Structure 1
């Protein structure tokens, strides 16, 4: 399977689904940490599970191309959590 990543959902529904999925993953991550699993270990396991799913869905080459953009996104702050301004 080497298909691209089409979205079957309209943009707004797709974004809602992604937010919900992130909430589930964040909850699982927090539960693991509360059970004493190191955050770094949880992060590596989450990345492994995510890449395993992407490879299964889109294939190795498409997933590798997708991952090539990570260095720029990481350096650009896409994954940096910034404190929200209080009103």
Structure 2
């Protein structure tokens, strides 16, 4: 077994979980598109589902903080499809 500090192992586990979650989301997205659902509808419902869950788990203040963080990331271009890394 790997001999890593607990915090490093936890980070690896979290990264793997995020990768699997991304794969599930991509598969669901592709299924929706193949069923004729527009990307805008898929995106809006994904965001609404995620925000509903965050409010349920952590409350409205946390969800608002997350929205603010996402806004800054959008403004910095993090989510552009054709980003250029400098």
Q: Which runs of 4+ in 1 moved over 2 A?
A: 80-83
Larger RCO (CA within 8 A; separation ≥ 6): 1
Aligned residues: CA RMSD: 1.6
Matches within 5 A, 1:33-52: 33-52=33-52
TM-score by length of 1: 0.77
Which of 1 and 2 has greater Rg? 2
1:50 counterpart SS class:
helix
The superposition leaves residues 27-83 of structure 1 with CA deviations (integer Å, 9 ceiling, x where unpaired) of 101100110001100000000011111111111111111111122201222222348
TM-score by length of 2: 0.78
Unaligned 5+ runs, structure 1: 1-8
2:14 is aligned to 14
Unaligned 5+ runs, structure 2: 1-8
1:3 is aligned to none
